[in-house]
A = this chain, B = another copy of it.
Amino acid sequence: MHEFELIARLTKALPTNESVVTGAGDDCAVLDLGVPEKLILFKTDAVVEGIHFTRATPPAKIGRKALARGLSDIAAMAGTPTAALVTVALPPDFDAEFVAQIYDGLNALAEKHAVAIVGGETTTNPERILISIALLGTVPRGQPVLRAGAKIGDAIFVTGELGGSLAGKHLDFEPRLAEARWLTEHFAIHALMDLSDGLGGDLRQILNASQVGAEILKSALPISRAAKLAARGNSAAKPPVMAALTDGEDFELLFTVASNDAVKLLDAWRAVFPKLKLSCIGKIVAGSGIVLRDRHGSHPFNAGGYEHFG
């Protein structure tokens, strides 16, 4: 069984009940538990030693990253995080001071965003550290901003700069919680998600969910300094544009809005968030998949990205 078939089989057969507004497949699950003006967001995210960090990563940064990833998923629904549970699995000979520092980093970010840490557990994973964070949040009632709402003609935006995150940003990124809430409070955002697996693959999630295509203007892509530095004098490195399109862990916002709103949104953004770049990188078109445009013409872009379950 191929992984895609597995995911299809698993997500098709999932038990449901009347509380479920949006189940597996978006950035967070959305539940209606009867809060008068709010829906509940529910999300888990795990980081694993050797994949998302190494034993040499400062433990406070490991803890910070573990929570920040989940907060970015809450941001991707324009929600507000409320509480988290922390599961730390680690070798039996673990250094308690190391674990305490993981919590120090995690707690500092939690306090910044008023997230309560309400428990969790430590368990044994003999060969490597694994941290899983479960998050609860809320979002005002009314249609939450999902991946499926992109419309033909929409302008496509990304916050910040893309590519090269593994050079450092993946340990220090800021979840775009305030930015996402501001966006949905002031504009009719059609589709919204956070970038975790690379722009190309993530944008395809919006396109597939919305049954549309996208045309991306290569020169409009906001390429990070880290991606440019990595390519400089290293012919084996990814070209910076390719890094911006396919590198994971950007944790920026990707969203679409009616083209009529695009200029007004850009102007308002610059007044409210002057330090965070916002780039219009292209538009939603009929069809499917991504077309890249540069001065030489247009060609389909199929690289990058992989599927997750949930």
Of the residues B29, B36, B119, B130, contact of A309 by C-beta under 8 Å: B119
User: A89 in the interface, Cβ–Cβ < 8 Å?
Assistant: yes
Q: Is the CB of B308 within 8 A of A1?
A: no
Closest to A110 in B: B15
Q: Which B residues are CB-close (under 8 A) to A152? A: none
Q: Is the CB of A134 within 8 A of B44?
A: yes
Closest to A2 in B: B96
Stretch of A5-13, A168-176, A261-269 on the interface side: A5-13
User: A272 in the interface, Cβ–Cβ < 8 Å?
Assistant: no
Stretch of A19-27, A185-193, A212-220 on the interface side: A19-27
Of the residues B13, B122, B130, contact of A125 by C-beta under 8 Å: B130
Q: Is the CB of A118 within 8 A of B10?
A: no
Number of interface residues of A (CB under 8 A): 71
Closest to A40 in B: B33
User: A14 in the interface, Cβ–Cβ < 8 Å?
Assistant: yes
Q: Is the CB of A46 within 8 A of B111?
A: no
User: A51 in the interface, Cβ–Cβ < 8 Å?
Assistant: yes
Q: Can you pick out 24 interface pairs between chain A and chain B where the beta carbons lie within 8 Å of each other?
A: A2-B96, A6-B100, A9-B100, A10-B99, A16-B116, A17-B114, A19-B83, A20-B116, A29-B85, A34-B36, A35-B35, A40-B136, A42-B118, A42-B134, A44-B85, A44-B120, A44-B121, A44-B134, A45-B121, A51-B123, A87-B132, A122-B308, A126-B128, A134-B134
